[in-house]
């Protein structure tokens, strides 16, 4: 006990000494973060929809609470099915427009749609396997999806969110995903296309014991578009959440991710791949709260910034006293391709127990000249060598991920990088 007291006293002394060094305070650093609180308040989805969600819980089944609209074919055709796998389920969300559920069945792309006015929406991959329930709450919508315990979905579920209507200059979406014990789900989330105004997303995940979720995200608002996205994940004992975010385009994107490792052995891996150019700005903030023993988390952030692009990343790990044996690692790297490009990277660790293994690394800089020379010395032109290095940076978080959904996301990143590499390989 004496030793613990001494240790505690030592920590306090060190903290006091550190505070006297005139390092920037958190408040001083806050200038770097965009002030989005007022915008968030406008949406405030969680608070405003709380009653509705609770009522849904209290009055199952939710017949009469939901309605669906037209089939996919009458929806904007700019977005092709991303996965295109037969049997995959697609949830298409058109801002304030109705939601469409499509099940990709055949080469004709025929759609199985449950439609009608006030009716429940149920999608069943197998009996009791997937249930998607839509609640249309005027301009603020909530979608709740449940994956039954023990259900292993082989095909991904795609959540497609696209533009707000012209009349409605801003729109919010609330998605709740409950994955039962031992269930497996791959969710492909796409915020794309006509997000020319502002849009806010709030996604909640609740992973039961031993559940596994792979969450792949594409965030590509139109030029000038604003997107605020919040993801909150509660990971139960032995459960695993893996996510990769690919963000590009738009005027401003903000992605706040909170990973709550609540059960013993819970695991969460988050990666973000960001490309910012022109005047686009993207910020990613990830917080890991480890509150149970033997948890594991990792963060990997990779960004390429050019022109007057601006990318920020803050990775926060908080290990409470109730989480001995926690392991948390984070790595952040930003490539600046020209003067005027801006990157901000900040790792934060708050550790309140001793038996933990945490690490962090952060680099911001230009392309590695030694690596470029190495590639050129093998015959690659400078432009191709640089393209390869950029590709290497961005694809690193996806290396080793073999699922079709991960490969799809990797292909998106490749496409973003243009044709130099393909020209060199063909």
Partner 1 sequence: MALLEIDNLVASIGETEVLRGLSLKVEAGEVHAIMGPNGAGKSTLSKIIAGHPDYTVKSGDIRLGGETLLNKSPDERAALGVFLGFQDPVEIPGVNNLYFLRTALNAQRRRRGEAEIDAPSFLRLAKDEAARVGLDAGLIKRALNDGFSGGERKRNEMLQLAVLQPKLAILDEIDSGLDIDALAAVAQNAARLRAEGMSFLLVTHYNRLLDAFPPDIVHVLVGGRIVHSGPAALAKELETSGYHAWSQLEVQSGAAQAPSLHV
Name the site residues for partner 1 (rule: CB under 8 A).
368-371, 373-382, 384-385, 388-389, 391-396, 399, 421, 424-426
CA distances from 204 to 138, 141, 215, 230 (A): 20, 14, 12, 8
In the complex, the smallest distance separating the C-beta of residue 305 from partner 1, rounded to whole angstroms, is 17
Spatial separation of the C-alpha atoms in residues 299 and 312, rounded to whole Å:
14
**Could you tell me whether strands 296-305 and 281-290 are parallel, antiparallel, or unpaired per DSSP bridges?**
unpaired
* 89-98: burial string, b at 16+ Cβ within 10 Å, e else: bbbbbbbbbb
What's 223's DSSP letter? Answer: T
Residue from 80, 174, 169, 65 nearest 117 by CA: 65
User: What is the per-residue DSSP string for 178-199?
Assistant: EE-TT-EEEEEEEEEE---SEE
**Nearest residue (CB) to partner 1, 184 versus 371:** 371
**Nearest residue (CB) to partner 1, 348 versus 368:** 368
In the complex, the smallest distance separating the C-beta of residue 397 from partner 1, rounded to whole angstroms, is 9
**Nearest residue (CB) to partner 1, 92 versus 303:** 303
In the complex, the smallest distance separating the C-beta of residue 186 from partner 1, rounded to whole angstroms, is 23
**Nearest residue (CB) to partner 1, 38 versus 377:** 377
Residue from 347, 353, 301 nearest 327 by CA: 353
* 7-30: burial string, b at 16+ Cβ within 10 Å, e else: eeeeeeeeeeeeeeeeeeeeeeee
In the complex, the smallest distance separating the C-beta of residue 304 from partner 1, rounded to whole angstroms, is 12
**Nearest residue (CB) to partner 1, 137 versus 367:** 367
**Nearest residue (CB) to partner 1, 36 versus 362:** 362
Spatial separation of the C-alpha atoms in residues 290 and 287, rounded to whole Å:
10
Which helix (H) or strand (E) segment holds residue 27: the answer is helix 26-29
**Nearest residue (CB) to partner 1, 63 versus 415:** 415
In the complex, the smallest distance separating the C-beta of residue 425 from partner 1, rounded to whole angstroms, is 5
Residue with tokens 């990666």: 271
In the complex, the smallest distance separating the C-beta of residue 270 from partner 1, rounded to whole angstroms, is 18
**Are the C-beta atoms of residues 102 and 111 closer than 8 Å to each other?**
yes
In the complex, the smallest distance separating the C-beta of residue 255 from partner 1, rounded to whole angstroms, is 22
């Amino acid at each position: 006990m004496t030793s613990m007291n001494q240790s505690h006293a030592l920590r306090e002394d060190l903290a006091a000494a550190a505070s006297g060094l005139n390092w920037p305070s958190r408040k001083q650093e806050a200038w770097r973060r965009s002030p989005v609180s007022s915008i968030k308040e406008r949406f405030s989805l969680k608070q405003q929809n709380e009653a509705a969600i609770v009522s849904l819980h209290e009055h199952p089944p939710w017949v009469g609470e939901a309605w669906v609209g037209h089939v996919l074919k009458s929806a904007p055709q700019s977005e092709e099915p991303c996965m295109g796998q037969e049997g995959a389920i697609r949830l298409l969300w058109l801002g304030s427009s109705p939601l469409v559920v499509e099940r990709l069945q055949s080469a004709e792309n025929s759609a199985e749609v449950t439609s009608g006015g006030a009716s429940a929406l149920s999608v069943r991959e197998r009996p009791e396997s997937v249930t998607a329930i839509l609640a249309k709450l005027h301009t603020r919508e909530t979608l709740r999806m449940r994956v039954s315990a023990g259900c292993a979905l082989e095909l991904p579920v795609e959540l497609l969110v696209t533009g707000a209507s012209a009349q409605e200059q801003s729109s919010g979406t609330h998605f709740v995903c409950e994955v039962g014990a031992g269930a497996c789900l791959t969710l492909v989330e796409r915020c794309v296309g006509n997000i020319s105004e502002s849009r806010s997303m709030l996604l909640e995940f609740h992973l039961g014991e031993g559940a596994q979720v792979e969450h792949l995200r594409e965030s590509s608002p139109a030029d000038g578009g604003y997107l605020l996205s919040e993801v909150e994940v509660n990971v139960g004992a032995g459960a695993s959440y893996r996510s990769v975010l690919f963000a590009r385009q738009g005027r401003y994107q903000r992605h706040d991710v909170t990973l709550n490792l609540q059960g013993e052995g819970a695991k969460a891996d988050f990666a973000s791949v960001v490309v910012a150019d022109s005047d686009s700005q993207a910020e990613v903030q990830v917080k890991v709260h480890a509150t149970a023993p033997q948890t594991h988390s990792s963060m990997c952030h990779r960004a390429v910034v050019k022109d007057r692009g601006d990318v920020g990343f803050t990775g926060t790990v908080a290990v409470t006293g109730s989480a001995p044996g926690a392991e948390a690692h984070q790595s952040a790297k930003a490539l600046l391709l020209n003067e005027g490009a801006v990157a901000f990277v900040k790792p934060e660790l708050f550790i309140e127990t001793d038996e933990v293994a945490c690490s962090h690394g952060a680099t911001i800089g230009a392309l590695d000249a030694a690596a470029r020379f190495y590639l050129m010395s093998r015959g690659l032109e400078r432009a191709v060598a640089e393209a390869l290095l950029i590709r290497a940076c961005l694809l690193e978080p996806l290396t080793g991920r073999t699922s079709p959904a991960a490969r799809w996301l990797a292909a998106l990143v490749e496409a973003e990088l243009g044709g130099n590499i393909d020209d060199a390989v063909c």
